[in-house]
Structure 1
Amino acid sequence: MLAFVVFVLLGTSDVVKVEPDGIGRWRMTIRASDETDPLRLAERLRPGAANLCGAKGFYFDHYTFTLDQQMPERQSSAKQSDKMTLVQDVVCGALPAVAAEPLPAPSLTEAETLALNARLETLTTGYFSALDEGRYADAFVTADDAMTGGVTLSEWSEQQKRFQASAGAVTERRIGRLTWYSNPPNAPFGHYGAVDYVASRALEDECGYLIWYRPSADAALRLIRQETTLLPHNLPAETRDTLRKAHCIIL
């Protein structure tokens, strides 16, 4: 089995070592005293890489390099040459296609927003109804991993059961303000629909918002975030009012 090959580049004094690095992969090492730019030095390896890969073609993958800077001996004024060692990975085959950068989603018109609001209300009502009725799988399927944290349906269902037991059953829920954002800063491109809501429960009142997201106009809306504030019934009225004004919408 071939461990490595050593050859000298034609017309130069460069010595190149070639080692197999897996199926269709090679590692080429070159040391030169007349070149200190790793990219230019790598160009010298192209004929050898082409010979290794043949008709399959090749591309350069990762590389590392070291530069040994020589200092003149104390007893001599002659400057010695710097030496660079480059280790270049070579992959046989075509260069993988680079995924195109996503484009911003088109800004929503007023008419599109009105049409989407109906969809947003339907999705939100369906999500909450599924939770209230214990149909956790139906609620789970609408949520993205960003919302669930990547847990399994079983784990997520248990989380919801514990929450329902601590907060009590819903006696009333109202959907409030609907707000749309197109390509907000510091977030992936797309349309974001925010739904503010309030709910009365047997043991605690609840308020918060949901965020639904689609990357493009032809994609489905997915639930990516839910923020919840709970107001226990035994809180002093003044404290409840302060928390509600700070965290909840006022219908």
Structure 2
Amino acid sequence: MAPLYDCRDEAQLLPGMRHARQAIGRGDLVVLPTDTVYGVAADAFNARAVQALLDAKGRGRQSPPPVLVAGITTLRALAAEVPEPVERLVEAFWPGGLTIILPAQPSLSWDLGETNGTVAVRMPDNRLALELLEETGPLAVSSANLTGVAAAVTAADAQSMLGDSVAVYLDGGPSRTGIASTIIDATALVGGGEDARIRVLREGAVSREALVEILGDMLEPDPRIIQPAPDVGSEGPAA
């Protein structure tokens, strides 16, 4: 059975982190805590490891995993461009529960699945995750659960679902929020016109209201809310 290290115990922390680094280097999978839910991680530049991650979750290549990074420097290395509004979002919400989709650097030699030339990037607000990222570099990370099952909020939850498909489990205690990250699509800002906007693809840890405070009208309106018709006066609209 794959070992589970309680990283709240100093005696288990160092061997657990060492074992996790070695597993990532071999192309194996690691479960780690984040500030949202537990994640299952693989070397983002090892196509075999990324495929193993998708297989462990029962997910196809049409659902590529996001990439966790240790900071904005790595975001700039992975994305073709980081527009100024995205810089503001990073300053406001990283580390934290905001995943940002941007066009990927075309020179990157990786295979995350059917990304259509994009990359989804997040910096987690969790000490263990950040320490591991500092040593391994970018990790492809998806929620540590089987597809269609609720995301794991403890290492034991993840282990009960993923079993020996994962080489190492790092236990950092229950997830702080248990709420998945908010995912936004900022690809339209790269090479788009003045009217380009950011879309919310999944609402989660960062609220739409918090995003509006940073972006204002640059955030696409919530499609679930019917927008009021313009006031065209009593004579009706012009032809």
TM-score band, normalised by shorter chain? under 0.3
Which structure carries more relative contact order (alpha carbon 8 Å, separation 6+)? 2
Of Structure 1 and Structure 2, the greater strand share is in 1
Larger Rg belongs to: 1
